[in-house]
Amino acid sequence: MYNTILVAIDLSNDSQKVIDTAVRMAGDASKLHLVHVVEPVAAAYSMDIYAVNISELQQEAINFAEQRLEKIGNDIGVKSGNAHTLLGAPAPEVRNLASEIGADAIVMGSHGHSGWKILLGSTVIKVLHGATCDVLTVHVGQEN
């Protein structure tokens, strides 16, 4: 049913559940593209940390993400070149990459929050708004 599936992961322990679901959906890992979006360091920390080299910190975060994503991709048989580490705001970066690669579906994790937590900024909700393909959310996190 799906020829190209973009799997958006945050590299947490919850990522494995999202990956497993995408592999089952695809039936073949060669149909998968993995993506992790590194948010700019300046967005995560206040700018009054003058003693730290922000560029160095940013590059370390990108390098770490690239290595983790490549290892995950190799472990499950994702084609070389189908692991993407991007820098920016997660939702628009995921949507843009999905469009660029011609994805039929985006698979990503969700903690299943309700009410205000969704309205105030869930990445999944932001990906849904403007996505041009199917978006599957996989419930991750604490089981009740």
Q: Say whether 37 sits in a helix, a strand or coil.
A: strand
Residue 133 in domain:
yes
Residue-level pLDDT at 18: 95
Q: Tell me the percentage of the chain whose pLDDT exceeds 90.
A: 62
Residue 57 in domain:
yes
The mean per-residue pLDDT over the stretch 87-95 comes to: 95
CATH code: domain of residue 113 = 3.40.50.620
The answer to whether residue 92 scores a pLDDT higher than 90 is yes
**Across all residues in the chain, what is the average pLDDT?**
86
Band (51; pLDDT cuts 50, 70, 90): low
Residue-level pLDDT at 116: 46
Residue 60 in domain:
yes
Residue-level pLDDT at 86: 97
What are the tokens at 136? 């599957």
Structural domain including 48 reads: 5-139
Indicate the number of domains in the chain.
Answer: 1
Residue 20 in domain:
yes
Identify whether the C-beta of residue 37 lies closer than 8 Å to the C-beta of residue 94.
yes
CA separation for the pair 45, 64 (Å, rounded): 18
Residue 11 in domain:
yes
- Helices and strands: H and E segment counts in the chain: 6, 5
DSSP assignments along 66-118, one per residue: HHHHHHHHHHHTPPTT-EEEEES-HHHHHHHHHHHHT-SEEEEEE----THHH
Residue-level pLDDT at 63: 96
